[in-house]
Structure 1
Amino acid sequence: MRRPFMGLILILLLGTISVRVPAVTAQTTADTRIDVVLVIDNSGSMKQSDSHDNRFSAAKLFTDLLATNDQVGLVSLGDRDSTKTIMTLTQVTGFAQQMWDQMGVIARPKDLSEWTYMGGAIDLSATVMDSAAHHNQQRAVIFLTDGLPTYRDEDRAVQEDKMRSGLDRLKQAGVKIFPIALGAGADRNFLDQTFARPTHGLLYPAENADQLLNVYIQILARLQDGRYVDSYPVIDNTDAFLANVTPEQKIQQVNFVFPGYNGTVPTLKNLLLPDSPTSAMDKLLHPEDPNWSMWVVRPEYVPKLNGEWRMTLESNSQQNPMIAVLKSDLRARLVEPVASLPSDDQTVRYYPAGRPLLLRAGVLDPSNRFAKRVPLRITMQQPQLWDSLSPADGGSGADLSPDDGEDATEYDRPMQPGNYQLQLNISPSDSHVQLHKAYDIVVEALPTMQVQTEPAGQLQVNEPIKVHVQWALDGKPVTMPQADILMAVKRDDRVITTIPLHPDSEGTWTGEYTPPESAQYQFALTAHADWQATDRGPRHYTDYLEVNYDAHKQPLVEVSVNDTDDRVNTLNNGIQRTVAFRSYSDQPVQLHVSVAGIPGATVFPSTLEVGPHETGNRTVTVISPAALHSGAWKAHLTINGDAQVHLNATDLPISFSINGWLTRNRWVFLLVILALILTLRRVREAMGDFVSRNVELLRYGRR
């Protein structure tokens, strides 16, 4: 059963260790070197807070565990005269570590101060950090104190200026401050708000000086990639099982640290490694301190470490705390929630209250790529223990892409405001030695996405779903200055595609997706937002929201009519029109045809049967028994389809003309006129004959 540090073996899986031996050179492109300045409080209150000088033992162990080419400096915190630089930023080598120990560089000063000139110590830390010819990417100040800043009146203004100036210089250089608040006298809120949060560091409380060894190791594991912490008990004075190291863990270096207990340090009597069934003591080196001892596995034996380890320990306690220090080529990464400094995996995460907690994680291999199919487990450790989650990389749930090395899951409970710490474990579940990292999450009131989708009803073919995002805080709309929003489109819990959303000038982010078919869709939106909290400062954080959309797409039937401007006397015999169609439906479709704009008119046939995906023509006849006035007529065929289909048009215009009375009876007129002409012709001929006869008679009568 897992237990607290004092009573457990703490297995610290740390980076490349070079303690008085040549460091192992990792075959990796990742740069894990660090720059660290240790600030140690040597004010008078330390007589009570740390009567056994554990702070110097812990700092000494910290420097011994640093890797070759790391850089370390040392500042002593006291009054105006005793606050000074003990060591400028110096490159770590095995020889340098030996010299520091032999010369007592990290040791209690002769006299302790009555004052705590923190302003001067911060200013000196910035100067020490700048003193090296080159700088490593990861840079930090570890600031140990048991109280608040205290100054003589005549020095207060100068010290406060140095505090502001030193903090500004450290922040500009990207240096994080990790304050260690020792005992009840340390003001944790002051140290957190003044040092940790503004520099993206983290406050580490230590209830007493006995915890300092563990605290310093925890900070080192946080600062350097490839270092991890685990714990489990070991029994003394017997051939006891120690660990089972597996090849999948890619461990390169192993050290053992035995913390002292009640003034004594346990002694390692024998060690059995996989390649040494009798004793491996000749493969160890042994640096020590009055409060701890350390055994280092020689680098040349590292390739043979996989397998079972056993040990015999001699001590005054049945169960003894032990720290095993290892290096792995695997580097844990918590991708979501995003780090407050995106380039620094170990900075605090911020997350909006009320949202389920999105978790995406992976493991970087030596080539700086996400390794695939590495078993991960995530467990919320604080403020209380939650059930462990096993994220997946199958393109379902909260995972954006299958088999890309980034696994995803979520705690589906709404997160309440507060400070949380979760543990990311990158070891197989059956591994005895566990490689895990701790991540800190601050849940607080932050703006969250408010999503609207349109259209709300059924979609037409080729019509997109539009997703609009705005932001609100405490139920009130706010303007988000900057956010990157990625929308994953899912169907049947599988990611189909991802679409970025783009902002407009009014602060609305919009994206579109055109579904290929009717289905239940889900839009999973991940936002990386930058918000300026007026009372807390800038926040770079993750917001995550899932929206369901039921896309019922109506099959489309395209219809049109071939219209000709007929001239007819009546519609008793009807006019014909050709209706063209093209169906996109998988099912047969019935089109119901009627006519509007013509009194008493009907259409035959009134129903057109269209087969699945059919393209063709149908002829319909429009008939009306009514006496229609002469002139041009404008009407339309009305098309109605089945409820499950969508028509591109429902009104198809048609036109025709009804002839007037003269036009309708023109042949009668022609016949009458012809008859009149013939009649007149005959009358004319008859009159001519009559006149001719009478003229002849008159002529003969005169004779």
Structure 2
Amino acid sequence: MRILCLGLFVLTVAAHAGESDLRVLIDVSGSMRQNDPHGLRIPALKLLLELLPPATRAGVWLFSETPENLISLAPVDRQWKNAAGEAAQRIHSRGRYTDIEKALQTVIADWEAPGEDRHIILLTDGMLDVAPDPALDSASRNRIERQLIPRLQALGARIYTIALSDQADHHLMRQLAIATDGWNETARSAEQLQRAFLKIVQKATPREGLPLRDNRFTVDANVREFSLLVFRRPESPATELIRPDATRWSAADHPDTVHWHPEDGFDLITVDQPMPGPWQLAARLDPDNQVMIVTDLQLKTAALPNHLAAGETLAVRAELTEHDRRITREHFLGLVKFQLLQKGPEEVQKTLIPAPEEAGVFSAATKLEKPGIYTFEVTVDGKTFQRVRKQRIEVLALPVATEVIPPRAAGEPLIVRLTPDPERIDPATFEAAALIASASDPPREMPFSSGNEAFWELPLSAPEAKRRLTVNFHIQARDREGNPLQVHLRPIELEPSQFQTHSTEADKAPQPTAKPIDWLWSGLIAAGVNLILGGAGFFGWRKLRQHARQRQEQLLNRLTT
């Protein structure tokens, strides 16, 4: 059986478990005097800092030839945000070089083992530049591609890059983003930079939201806090927020329970214990305006992969939870409607239906044929409450198809096959190599070989230790007109099981006879220990479970009456 790396991506329901780790790198090289003469980085960084949720550990570094910590790495709270906002004023443009390699190495120095929920935002305006000698620049780039990217992958870090000018190293920025399943943005103005930071922080630290339609949204009694982001243009009138009782608030006139943060280009308004009912925003309509909330009644969806190949299918799954417990009560879920709105080159609206294998989970599948940027919006309407989550992905028109062919028999290698699109690539110019690494082994480079010009293959034997392998691709090719192509293929991961056949000689060999176990005495001993140590824990667990179930029943009864 052959496994094509084009297929079905099943997105299991998940939420960020634990603390997100976000590290921001800001370029302060001298070229920023031309590309950011008005200090656009400062208000944009302030927006990013204000949008970070509490369950985040964050820090900011400035970099040119030597990285400098601007904002200490620490848990995010109001005190940290206030101090970070003041520190952002120290962003400058006095550096000499743009040493991206050293900047990335600095911010990951304390990551010694693989982890989850790790994110790095890299903002730069120029090419990689470490010294006057171009050979040193080339050597640094080579180390990033062949050593640092595999290291970032092994650590579980995603890189989000923002290019602040057309002179930025777009090839390297895109390579870093695709290799780590991060994201790549280009910003040419203050407004674009703020929105680029918004898109990236939404990916790194996604938050619960309320649907905002025609500047109106409805707050239910389960919302403890909401934050409203409103983008403004220079000619826009002052933003006003209208409560359900018709009281009007503004940046100049609002109660102490409201935190109103005005900056050039946006307002961020946080309301604690908001009044339930319909709210209205008096401001210019903007598709990026949004309402983020803190609540125990949550819509949870899985994070989408940031990059897919054209032709792949997404299976989107969603659920409602209360205090992180999935809601499965049929009567309540019968009153709730889950919708998927797909925007982009192909626009689709679907109703999520109950997943047959899991109570309380709703799903829908969508196939993505056309390349481009897509937005997926999952909403739930429970009549007395609404929730929304938005995610963006890029569908890539890859000029090379990737295929994994399992071993044909025991002892034979697995085959990784590359098939260039003959209409887009001149096969005579095609050269490919794989950079193979694991969490504990250094990367090793292996070339692909071809017996013809239709496909190129690389045989791989099973690693001695059963480790997952990550395969990155380095490709050189030209199109039919002779122009060089920049080919960014997504890396593939090979599990130890993929190196096995369905039936091996080891499976057929007789298994050694185990020494008989005296099950009577073992059972008596285990029962006594469990009775002594587990009794109190069992009754405590049962009491907590009953309390959580009663609390959820009370909430559902309130929502359905």
TM-score by length of 1: 0.48
Contact 1:285 1:296 in 2 (8 A): yes
Alpha-carbon distance between aligned partners in 1 of 2:56 and 2:394, rounded to the nearest angstrom: 28
3-state SS in 1 of match to 2:152: helix
Deviation per residue, 1:100-131 (Å, 9 max, x gap): 33xx311254543343221221122223x649
Aligned AA (2:365): T
Alpha-carbon distance between aligned partners in 2 of 1:76 and 1:204, rounded to the nearest angstrom: 19
Contact 1:124 1:166 in 2 (8 A): no
C-alpha displacement of 1:38: 0.9
Aligned to 2:509: none
| Alignment CA distance shift 1:331-1:191 (3 Å) | farther
1:289 matched to 2:263? The reply is yes
Aligned to 1:326: 293
| Alignment CA distance shift 1:166-1:473 (3 Å) | closer
Instruction: Give aligned pairs, total.
Output: 394
C-alpha displacement of 1:446: 4.4
Aligned to 2:22: 36
Aligned to 1:143: 122
Residue 185 of structure 2, aligned match among 204, 207, 215: 204
Aligned AA (1:378): L
| Alignment CA distance shift 1:123-1:448 (3 Å) | closer
Alpha-carbon distance between aligned partners in 2 of 1:91 and 1:208, rounded to the nearest angstrom: 30
Aligned to 1:418: 371
3-state SS in 1 of match to 2:350: coil
Q: Which has the higher contact order (CA 8 A, sep 6+)?
A: 2
Alpha-carbon distance between aligned partners in 2 of 1:380 and 1:403, rounded to the nearest angstrom: 25
| Alignment CA distance shift 1:151-1:349 (3 Å) | closer
Contact 1:377 1:388 in 2 (8 A): yes
1:386 matched to 2:386? The reply is no
Residue 97 of structure 1, aligned match among 73, 81, 90: 81
| Alignment CA distance shift 1:379-1:289 (3 Å) | closer
Alpha-carbon distance between aligned partners in 2 of 1:422 and 1:381, rounded to the nearest angstrom: 5
Aligned to 1:362: 318
Find the structure with the greater CA-based Rg. 1
| Alignment CA distance shift 1:255-1:422 (3 Å) | closer
Greater per-residue strand proportion: 1
Aligned to 1:440: 393
Aligned to 2:278: 308
1:121 matched to 2:103? The reply is yes
Contact 2:402 2:418 in 1 (8 A): yes
C-alpha displacement of 1:265: 7.2
Q: After superposition, where does 1:120-199 map in structure 2 within 5 Å?
A: 120-127=102-109, 130=111, 137-153=116-132, 156=137, 159-160=140-141, 163=144, 166-193=148-175, 195-199=176-180
Aligned AA (1:347): P
C-alpha displacement of 1:432: 10
Aligned to 1:84: 68
Aligned AA (2:292): V
Alpha-carbon distance between aligned partners in 2 of 1:534 and 1:311, rounded to the nearest angstrom: 49
Contact 1:359 1:408 in 2 (8 A): yes
Alpha-carbon distance between aligned partners in 2 of 1:49 and 1:186, rounded to the nearest angstrom: 10
Point out where structure 2 has 5 or more consecutive residues left out of the alignment.
1-13, 407-414, 421-467, 475-488, 495-561
Aligned AA (2:190): A
Aligned to 1:64: 50
3-state SS in 2 of match to 1:106: helix
Q: After superposition, where does 1:250-649 map in structure 2 within 5 Å?
A: 251-262=223-234, 266-269=237-240, 271-274=241-244, 276-279=245-248, 281-282=254-255, 283-298=257-272, 301-302=273-274, 304=275, 306-312=276-282, 322-329=289-296, 330-334=298-302, 345-348=303-306, 350=308, 357-363=313-319, 365-366=321-322, 368=324, 370-371=326-327, 373=333, 374-382=336-344, 384-393=345-354, 395=356, 401=357, 403-411=359-367, 415-416=368-369, 418-419=371-372, 421-428=374-381, 435-440=388-393, 442=395, 445-447=401-403, 536=489, 538-539=491-492
Alpha-carbon distance between aligned partners in 1 of 2:418 and 2:103, rounded to the nearest angstrom: 40
Residue 61 of structure 2, aligned match among 52, 64, 75: 75
Contact 1:230 1:435 in 2 (8 A): yes
Alpha-carbon distance between aligned partners in 1 of 2:286 and 2:365, rounded to the nearest angstrom: 37
| Alignment CA distance shift 1:211-1:111 (3 Å) | closer
C-alpha displacement of 1:73: 1.3
C-alpha displacement of 1:225: 4.0
Alpha-carbon distance between aligned partners in 1 of 2:471 and 2:115, rounded to the nearest angstrom: 30
Aligned AA (2:364): A
Alpha-carbon distance between aligned partners in 1 of 2:470 and 2:148, rounded to the nearest angstrom: 26
Aligned AA (1:253): E
C-alpha displacement of 1:220: 1.7
Contact 2:307 2:395 in 1 (8 A): yes
3-state SS in 2 of match to 1:347: coil
3-state SS in 2 of match to 1:256: strand
TM-score by length of 2: 0.59
Contact 1:123 1:165 in 2 (8 A): no
C-alpha displacement of 1:295: 2.3
Contact 2:230 2:267 in 1 (8 A): yes
Aligned AA (2:229): V
Alpha-carbon distance between aligned partners in 2 of 1:151 and 1:428, rounded to the nearest angstrom: 54
Aligned to 2:460: none
Q: CA RMSD in A?
A: 4.3
3-state SS in 2 of match to 1:365: strand
Contact 1:120 1:159 in 2 (8 A): no
Contact 2:300 2:321 in 1 (8 A): no
3-state SS in 1 of match to 2:38: coil
Contact 1:126 1:169 in 2 (8 A): no
Q: After superposition, where does 1:3-42 map in structure 2 within 5 Å?
A: 31=17, 33-42=19-28
Aligned AA (1:213): Q
C-alpha displacement of 1:221: 1.7
Alpha-carbon distance between aligned partners in 1 of 2:311 and 2:277, rounded to the nearest angstrom: 46
Aligned to 2:552: none
C-alpha displacement of 1:178: 0.5
Identity level (%): 17
Alpha-carbon distance between aligned partners in 2 of 1:177 and 1:143, rounded to the nearest angstrom: 7
Alpha-carbon distance between aligned partners in 1 of 2:238 and 2:54, rounded to the nearest angstrom: 27
Deviation per residue, 1:63-112 (Å, 9 max, x gap): 1222335221111132x25x4222331222222222233xx311254543
C-alpha displacement of 1:57: 0.9
3-state SS in 1 of match to 2:88: coil
C-alpha displacement of 1:188: 3.0
Alpha-carbon distance between aligned partners in 2 of 1:358 and 1:318, rounded to the nearest angstrom: 31
| Alignment CA distance shift 1:29-1:534 (3 Å) | closer
Deviation per residue, 1:9-56 (Å, 9 max, x gap): xxxxxxxxxxxxxxxxxxx99635311111112223333433332222
1:245 matched to 2:219? The reply is yes
Contact 1:32 1:224 in 2 (8 A): no
Contact 2:320 2:360 in 1 (8 A): no
Contact 2:174 2:184 in 1 (8 A): yes
Aligned AA (2:338): L
Greater per-residue helix proportion: 2
Alpha-carbon distance between aligned partners in 1 of 2:143 and 2:68, rounded to the nearest angstrom: 14
Contact 2:114 2:154 in 1 (8 A): no
C-alpha displacement of 1:321: 7.6
Alpha-carbon distance between aligned partners in 2 of 1:44 and 1:433, rounded to the nearest angstrom: 48
Alpha-carbon distance between aligned partners in 2 of 1:410 and 1:259, rounded to the nearest angstrom: 32
| Alignment CA distance shift 1:278-1:89 (3 Å) | closer
Alpha-carbon distance between aligned partners in 2 of 1:319 and 1:199, rounded to the nearest angstrom: 31
Residue 221 of structure 1, aligned match among 182, 202, 210: 202
Alpha-carbon distance between aligned partners in 2 of 1:435 and 1:116, rounded to the nearest angstrom: 40
Aligned to 2:485: none
C-alpha displacement of 1:160: 4.9
Aligned to 1:558: none
Contact 1:245 1:431 in 2 (8 A): no
Aligned AA (1:199): T
Aligned to 2:538: none
